[in-house]
Structure 1
Amino acid sequence: MNHSSQVPSPSATCSGCGTTPRFSLIIHNVCYSAPNRHLCTNCLLKNHHGFFCPICYQVYDEFLPLHQRLKCLRCPSVVHRSCALPFSTTAVNAGSAPFFLCPTCSDVKFSYFNLSAADRISRTVDEKSFKVLSAASKIAAMSMNRGATAARFEAEWRAKEAAVCRKRAMEAMEELADIQEKEKEEEEEENDGCVLDLNLDARLHVTEE
């Protein structure tokens, strides 16, 4: 079963391995704490262990219950227990922790996504590669959505922080204006007192004469 793929403009290269859409079909946009990165399907999946089952390539929308999963002994990769142990039931093995290594830990040369020369020319993939590509695309979309949410929260936080700063600045200006007004009133009172003293001295001087 083959699936055709509409490929975007091949302008980006993978920041992980340097491959181009010619060999990976799609270069995914992924949001990290740093500016967005471009990753091929293989590098994206290798950088997101634990987000998907490395056997059936189902992306996890939520954490699997403990009795339904197995964790790789060397990395955060999590597999469906039913995928790793197809001939055993989850009930029987719920209390055990079988030895499990994900494909990338079992074979350092393992690649999730390999295209033959014919597939690159025809821009088609087989069913397994289609599942891999779909998983990577979904993870990339989840990453970008999280990035957009984080950016929105940061923008809202900065807006609130700016509003607080403006409020504090206004309060400081009002307090300064009150201090200046009070100092002005005290200065005027002192000047009035000096005028009264001068007038009194003048009258006393005239009386003495």
Structure 2
Amino acid sequence: MQDSYYPPFATVCGQCGVVEPKYLHHVRHCATFRRLCTTCVLRLHPQCFCPTCLEVYDGSPPIDAVVCCKCYSSSHPACLSPEFSGTVTSTMTLSRCSSVCASCENPNLLVLNLNRVESSDGGRVVDRIDLNAARLLLAAGKIAAMSMSKAEVVAANEAVKRAEEAANARKSAGEALDHLARLMVKEKSDKKVGNVGAGVGVVDVSHMDNVDGKGDVSGKVLEPLNAVELEVGKEVVKVVDVVGGKNLGGDSVCGNGCVKDDMLVKVVENGQEHCCGDVVVV
């Protein structure tokens, strides 16, 4: 019941609401895509055609066109009444002249009326298009085609603009990710350098007698110290390279009596030699 009462949306004009299942035109009007009947297409685009001869202008109206004072449509001077066209003498006068166009004088001039006649074969009633209706349909179709062509250009430009914006956004996102990766690598390297710097130090063996040879100090350098008990006043006998086992001589002892790092130190305690690796004796 409701389906028969309310017509489908595709068959209704978006401007006047008339039900026109056959002759609806796709038009982009005021940045909106609409489906309009022939009469509404012509009335919403008065500057695109001559209301008298229904000639559609390619682009802008001619320079000698006469503008209507009501709907601002542009009419050919030859399409106007002989009395009015005879008074016009120059283009400057034409641009300043204002008159009422034929569609404003007769509003039914742009209305599409289909003549309903009986067919000769079966006697059923059909709609017949006469010459005036054909001219109206042709003019409305040309205007709709021009409107959709302009809409295509606008859509193409908008697509190119959106593509450029997307490319720029993608480039910015990539640069941001690269910057973040560099910051993470730098942070990790700084942590490694800090850990290495914190692990290198000087061990004072003069106080090792207070911990009974098992001092709780981090690092593998204290492992040799846990094997023997060191006391104050031990005599340094010989310094040997840890890797090669060569005698490094006096260069391994600093000027203040300390032994350089990464050396194997031999000390004499009660006539016996004890080795301490990677220790700086102060």
Q: TM-score range by the shorter chain?
A: 0.7 to 0.9
More strand by share: 2
1:162 aligned to 160, 163, 166, which one? Answer: 166
Q: Is the 8 A contact 2:115 2:129 kept in 1?
A: no
Q: Is the 8 A contact 1:29 1:39 kept in 2?
A: yes
Asked if 1:73 is matched to 2:73, the reply is no
AA partner of residue 114 (structure 2): L
More helix by share: 1
Shift of 1:61: 0.4
Aligned residue number for residue 92 of structure 1? 89
Partners of 1:76 and 1:175 in 2: CA distance: 60
Shift of 1:108: 5.4
Shift of 1:92: 2.0
Aligned residue number for residue 183 of structure 1? 187
Partners of 1:141 and 1:63 in 2: CA distance: 16
Deviations 1:122-162 (A, max 9, x none): 43322222111100001111112222222222222222211
AA partner of residue 165 (structure 1): A
AA partner of residue 53 (structure 2): C
Aligned residue number for residue 3 of structure 1? none
Whichever of the two has the greater Rg, that structure is 2
Q: Is the 8 A contact 1:82 1:89 kept in 2?
A: no
1:136 aligned to 136, 140, 158, which one? Answer: 140
Shift of 1:37: 1.2
Distance 1:19 1:142, change over 3 A: same
Shift of 1:57: 0.6
Shift of 1:169: 0.4
Distance 1:148 1:135, change over 3 A: same
Q: Is the 8 A contact 1:70 1:100 kept in 2?
A: yes
Asked if 1:151 is matched to 2:147, the reply is no
Q: Is the 8 A contact 1:115 1:125 kept in 2?
A: yes
Partner secondary structure for residue 15 of structure 1 = coil
Partners of 1:90 and 1:50 in 2: CA distance: 23
Distance 1:172 1:90, change over 3 A: farther
Partners of 1:82 and 1:136 in 2: CA distance: 22
Shift of 1:104: 4.1
Partners of 1:179 and 1:134 in 2: CA distance: 67
Structure 1 regions of 5+ residues with no counterpart? 1-9
| Count of aligned positions | 190
Aligned residue number for residue 249 of structure 2? none
Aligned residue number for residue 21 of structure 1? 20
Shift of 1:163: 1.4
Asked if 1:82 is matched to 2:78, the reply is yes
Q: Is the 8 A contact 1:44 1:136 kept in 2?
A: yes
Partners of 1:89 and 1:183 in 2: CA distance: 89
Distance 1:37 1:138, change over 3 A: same
Shift of 1:107: 4.8
Structure 2 regions of 5+ residues with no counterpart? 1-8, 119-124, 208-231, 233-282
Aligned residue number for residue 60 of structure 2? 63
Partners of 2:188 and 2:108 in 1: CA distance: 81
Partner secondary structure for residue 29 of structure 1 = strand
**Higher relative contact order structure (alpha carbons within 8 Å, sequence separation ≥ 6):** 1
AA partner of residue 80 (structure 1): H
CA RMSD of aligned residues (A): 2.7
